[in-house]
């Protein structure tokens, strides 16, 4: 039970594992707080969420410190609402900022790879180029009530008029309790929570996959992962609040509703309207905090990115089918109150994922205010509440970025500042345009675009599997499956489950077809890239579309060289990918699998990645990867993959997304994993094999 807690770093949950009810692991009971020693803090009771050491958020200045009472953080004055000035603007530079202990400047060329040297930039980060104001002025539209619609007045229905007391935040019953609340997280904490959630979810999915034969046994890995996080209190911003949420920026993406719950953006796991009681003078009133517009109701964006027409909740028996009039209660009432109180409401827009239909992407679109509300008859003839929300001015672009990029995709010539239409000259399926919005540079120096690595010697080809059509994760006879260990590396949608020393994809000698789920990175990139001139870091790389965490981005192509040829002084090494200095290629991406008790052999792997002793020279031949800059707070990592030959000394270097990456966000990876690994503690945590385990 007393697994040693190793090298505790603030943002991580390092508590030893305790078996909880239902196979969940819980953190130790309150009287043995794991925090006592590491932080020198007194043990706290489960009553209070521990204050997170790094909790002083640089952006929480707009937000008064939340006390257990609701009173502040909420509007202080009657009627008038806190104008939190420039809500998200100051957060712009948080994105790439290193964790507090680090001294290096956020983004700079990696020490080991001399790429784009001399352009390191100190100090202040400049906002994205492109984020300059090109939003239309929507303010001109006057607030005339909708024709033919009755205006609502608060209190027009009976229900729920009793003054609600703010209840103490309900702690999960059971053994879990809120031991590890990460209160008022900063951006780093938000990332941590999200990465942990998704790591957990992918892991559960992966385990589920191998048990394909048991029908009905297990579904919804998202809910399982979310529940685990919740019961262990592994969340941040767990107190509700009006307005800006620390650590969350406009444009942030979410692929599950639960993700938004865990970081305090929208705490309803299903309902579209989140609200809480707020004190105005003497009265307490429910006001809306955030809404998710997900298209179940007949929401409409009117084509104007700053306006959202939102439908109230209720009246539906099955989703999509309205069978009753909506009532002015719950979320609808809260929205109505928010309309008169004019408080800011966070808006999350849900959209179809074009690359993965059936999947939804949620994007935080910033603060809005309700401008108008009315009742109208829905398609089914029942009453529906309608709310017209107007985006608060002065915020960075949100959904507008999406609209822009979508337009560019349809019509690439509408993209301005283009220097070159297709850097790949047709090699990539999608053109890679080169843009410069910041200076007069006419483009990067010439190189030949290749979409594969160039070997000097011929590589021998491995013997493949004999699966028919597609390899099945539950098929123990699959040769490729064996090589990968007991669990499949990719989900059925091609998302990498976790980082490994080496992934074995099926290859040309395999009998399975191209639809095999064990063929992912070999098929090449599906991302619509853009090479752009950064401010101060030379050329950079970004995507027009959103990228889901774990999905394949691209390969690092170029000429394979032996590491002995590497020489930092050589200019030719500017575009050298050098994995040899990476003691351990594990980022924190697999993190917190220890929330699951697994009967896996303890990681025997580690060694292989440090054996990599080649380099990839992209100076003369390369692809978009050579433009990816370094960051200590990266959103991309690399993963060795083997598929077309047998030689484990020369795997392909494939890049995958560490986090969900919004459109037009620069893609960066950590050039020097060795340093990164020093920040790691997660892999040092002992996994308790003796425990029965979380049954999935």
Partner DNA sequence: GAAACGTCATCTTA
Partner DNA sequence: CTAAGATGACGTTT
* Nearer CB in complex with DNA: 167/457: 167
Nearest of 351, 345, 335 to residue 392 by alpha carbon = 345
Of the candidate residues 65, 102, 164, 352, the single one contacting DNA (CB under 7 A): 164
For residue 187, the minimal CB distance to DNA (Å) is 22
Q: Of 185-193, 309-317, 430-438, 572-580, which part binds DNA (CB under 7 A)?
A: 309-317
**And the tokens for 396?**
């960075």
Tell me if 30 contacts DNA by CB under 7 A. Answer: no
DSSP codes of every residue in 588-620? GGGTTGGGS---PPP---THHHHT--EEEE-SS
Nearest residue to 662 via CA among 473, 489, 438, 405: 405
Least Cβ distance, residue 226 to DNA (angstroms):
6
8 within 8 A of 38, measured Cβ to Cβ: yes
Question: Is residue 162 involved in binding DNA (CB under 7 A)?
Answer: yes
Query: Which of 144, 318 has the CB closer to DNA?
Result: 318
Q: Which is nearer to DNA, 356 or 613 (CB)?
A: 356
Strands (E), 483-635: 503-504, 529-533, 539-543, 552-555, 559-562, 576-577, 614-617, 621-622, 629-630
313 makes contact with DNA (CB under 7 A): yes
Give residues with Cβ within 8 angstroms of 318, minimum separation 6.
Answer: none
For the segment 165-204, give every residue that binds DNA (CB under 7 A): 167-168, 170, 172-173
Residue 257 near DNA by CB under 7 A: yes
> Between 329 and 598, whose beta carbon lies closer to DNA?
329
Select 241 or 528, whichever has its Cβ closest to DNA: 241
Q: Which stretch binds DNA (CB under 7 A): 310-318, 588-596, 628-636, 674-682?
A: 310-318
Is 275 among the residues that bind DNA (CB under 7 A)?
Answer: yes
Per CB under 7 A, 221 contacts DNA = yes
H-helix or E-strand spanning residue 283: strand 283-293
Kindly tell me which residue out of 78, 151, 153, 160 binds DNA, with binding defined by CB under 7 A: 160
Q: Which helix (H) or strand (E) holds 188?
A: helix 187-210
Q: Which of 24, 256, 280, 577 binds DNA (CB under 7 A)?
A: 256
Binding status of residue 266 toward DNA by CB under 7 A: no
Q: Is 213 in the site for DNA (CB under 7 A)?
A: no
Which tokens hold the place of 542?
């970004």
Helices 187-210/221-231 angle, 10° precision: 130
Query: Smallest distance, Å, CB 258 to DNA?
Result: 7
Spatial CB neighbours of 544, under 8 Å, sequence gap ≥ 6: 405, 408, 409, 528, 529, 530, 663, 664
3-state SS, residue 390: strand
Taking the alpha carbons at both ends of the chain, their separation in whole angstroms is 23
Minimum distance from CB of 379 to DNA (Å)?
Answer: 15
Sites for DNA among residues 320-379 (CB under 7 A): 320, 330-331, 350, 358-360
Q: Cβ–Cβ contacts within 10 Å for residue 447, how many?
A: 16
Structure tokens at 588: 């924190």
Among 183, 222, 284, 397, binds DNA (CB under 7 A): 222
The answer to the question of residue 223 lying near DNA (CB under 7 A) is: yes
**Site size with DNA, rule: CB under 7 A:** 53
Of 388, 384, 377, the residue nearest 327 (C-alpha): 384
Enumerate binding residues for DNA (CB under 7 A).
160, 162, 164, 167-168, 170, 172-173, 216, 219-224, 226-227, 230-231, 240, 255-258, 261, 267-276, 286, 292, 294-296, 313-316, 318-320, 330-331, 350, 358-360
């Amino acid at each position: 039970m007393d697994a040693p807690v190793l090298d505790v770093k603030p943002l991580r949950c390092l508590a030893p594992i305790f078996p909880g009810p239902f196979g969940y692991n819980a953190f130790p009971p309150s009287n043995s707080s794991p925090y006592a020693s590491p932080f020198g803090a007194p043990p706290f009771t489960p009553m209070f969420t521990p204050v997170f050491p790094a909790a002083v958020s640089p952006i929480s200045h707009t937000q008064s410190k939340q006390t257990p009472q609701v009173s502040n953080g909420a509007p202080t004055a009657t009627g008038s609402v806190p104008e939190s000035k420039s809500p998200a603007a100051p957060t712009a530079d948080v994105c790439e900022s290193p964790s507090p202990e680090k001294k290096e400047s956020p983004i700079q060329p990696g020490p080991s790879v001399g790429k784009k040297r001399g352009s390191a930039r100190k100090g202040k980060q400049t906002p994205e180029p492109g984020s300059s104001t090109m939003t239309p002025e929507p303010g001109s539209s006057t607030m005339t009530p909708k024709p033919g619609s009755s205006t609502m007045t608060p209190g027009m229905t009976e229900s729920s008029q009793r003054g609600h007391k703010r209840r103490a935040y309900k702690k999960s019953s059971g053994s879990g309790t809120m031991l590890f609340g990460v209160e008022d997280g900063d951006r780093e904490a938000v990332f941590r929570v999200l990465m942990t959630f998704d790591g957990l979810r992918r892991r559960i999915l992966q385990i589920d996959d191998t048990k394909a034969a048991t029908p009905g046994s297990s579904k919804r890995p998202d809910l399982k992962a979310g529940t685990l996080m919740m019961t262990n209190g592994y969340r941040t911003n767990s107190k509700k609040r009006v307005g800006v949420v620390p650590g969350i920026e406009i444009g942030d993406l979410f692929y599950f509703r639960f993700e938004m719950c865990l970081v305090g953006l929208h705490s309803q796991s299903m309902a579209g309207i989140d609200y809480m009681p707020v004190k105005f003078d003497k009265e307490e009133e429910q006001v809306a905090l955030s809404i998710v517009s997900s298209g179940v109701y007949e929401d409409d964006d009117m084509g104007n990115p700053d306006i959202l027409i939102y439908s109230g909740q209720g009246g539906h028996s099955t989703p999509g089918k309205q069978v009753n009039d909506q009532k002015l209660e719950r979320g609808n009432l809260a929205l109505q109150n928010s309309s008169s109180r004019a408080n800011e409401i966070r808006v999350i827009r849900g959209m179809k994922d074009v690359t993965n239909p059936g999947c939804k992407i949620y994007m935080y679109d910033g603060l809005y205010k309700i401008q108008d509300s009315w009742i109208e008859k829905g398609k089914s003839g029942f009453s529906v509440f309608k709310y017209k929300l107007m985006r608060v001015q002065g915020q960075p672009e949100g959904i507008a970025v999406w609209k822009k990029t979508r337009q560019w995709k349809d019509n690439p010539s509408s993209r301005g500042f283009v220097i070159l239409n297709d850097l790949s000259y047709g090699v990539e399926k999608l053109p890679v345009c080169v843009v410069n919005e910041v200076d007069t540079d006419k483009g990067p120096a010439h190189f030949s675009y290749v979409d594969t690595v160039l070997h000097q010697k011929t590589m021998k080809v491995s013997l493949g599997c004999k699966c028919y059509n597609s390899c099945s994760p539950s098929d123990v006879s699959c040769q490729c499956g064996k090589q990968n260990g007991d669990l499949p590396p990719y989900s059925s949608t091609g998302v990498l489950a976790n980082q490994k020393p080496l992934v074995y994809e099926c290859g040309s000698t395999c009998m399975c077809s191209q639809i095999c789920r064990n063929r992912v990175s070999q098929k090449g990139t599906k991302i619509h890239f853009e090479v752009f001139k950064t401010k101060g870091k030379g050329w950079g790389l970004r995507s027009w579309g959103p990228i889901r965490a774990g999905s394949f981005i691209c390969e690092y192509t170029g000429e394979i060289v032996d590491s002995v040829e590497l020489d930092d002084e050589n200019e030719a090494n500017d575009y050298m990918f050098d994995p040899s200095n990476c003691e351990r290629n594990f980022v924190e991406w697999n993190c917190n699998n220890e929330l699951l008790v697994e009967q896996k052999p303890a990681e025997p792997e580690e060694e292989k990645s440090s054996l990599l002793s080649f380099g990839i020279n992209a100076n003369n031949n390369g692809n978009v990867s050579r433009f990816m800059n370094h960051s200590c707070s990266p959103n991309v990592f690399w993963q060795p993959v083997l598929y077309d030959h047998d030689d484990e000394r020369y795997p392909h270097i494939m890049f995958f997304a560490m986090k969900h990456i919004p459109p037009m966000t620069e893609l960066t990876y950590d050039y020097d994993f060795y340093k990164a690994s020093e920040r790691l503690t997660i892999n040092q945590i002992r996994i308790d094999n003796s425990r029965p385990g979380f049954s999935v």
